[in-house]
Chain A
Amino acid sequence: DQQVKQNSPSLSVQEGRISILNCDYTNSMFDYFLWYKKYPAEGPTFLISISSIKDKNEDGRFTVFLNKSAKHLSLHIVPSQPGDSAVYFCAASAYTPQGGSEKLVFGKGTKLTVNP
């Protein structure tokens, strides 16, 4: 059973427009959410994250929105640039009091293509 879902395998937008990538989760114990960007054969690069006590976090062109009641989050990229073309993974974590480590659960990813 997928706990983190990215239902759109791909998204194509024009340069300068807004890209909106969506993510849904089922586990109500998740309290931290992260977005990663990934190019083929490279490791995921951290973009932005949000704690469950917040509903919005912004960093430059990237904004993440969290709707806890709907168990939904979204990543907005404004304005989109061709260099943003990559696979974007949503990941979630549930804090556990022991050990200080956290297990990330990833969605399947959305391939974003920004056309010039």
Chain B
Amino acid sequence: DTEVTQTPKHLVMGMTNKKSLKCEQHMGHRAMYWYKQKAKKPPELMFVYSYEKLSINESVPSRFSPECPNSSLLNLHLHALQPEDSALYLCASSQDRRRGRDVIYGYTFGSGTRLTVV
């Protein structure tokens, strides 16, 4: 299995709703990431989990809450979002490059969840 699987593919939610995005990988990658991408912009990092611990939070508002239940799963809990939070949310995972510093390593993205906040 060489994929990162994200569900749902599309999500429409109201500003008072609570929803969750899910991400799963079975490549044995120990780092997992959430990125956000707006139209015609590059992906921007939100959160990094390394060995199931949150290692980077790029000053993301608290209405976004990540969770890493185990080494294969990553969730993003959403609550009280704003219309400007509408975007493509991408999950990614990567190998630990220490294991082979000069080796081509995998940094794989899922197909994303298209989120619309109304």
Which residue of A46, A53, A93, A100 is within 8 Å of B96 (Cβ)? A100
* Neighbouring B residues of A104 by C-beta, 8 Å: 43, 45, 92, 107
Specify which chain A residues have a CB less than 8 angstroms from the CB of B90 in the assembled complex.
Answer: 43-44
Q: How many A-B residue pairs have CB under 8 A?
A: 77
Chain B binding site: helix, strand, loop or mixed by DSSP? strand
User: Which residue of B55, B92, B111 contacts A99 across the interface (Cβ within 8 Å)?
Assistant: B55
A36 contacts B by Cβ under 8 Å: yes
Q: Is the CB of B41 within 8 A of A108?
A: yes
Contact A95 B97 (CB under 8 A): yes
A99-B31, A102-B94 known; A107-B42 Cβ under 8 A: yes
**Interface residues, chain B, with chain A CB atoms under 8 Å away:** 4, 6, 30-31, 33, 41-45, 48-51, 53, 55-56, 88, 90, 92, 94, 96-98, 101-102, 104-112, 114
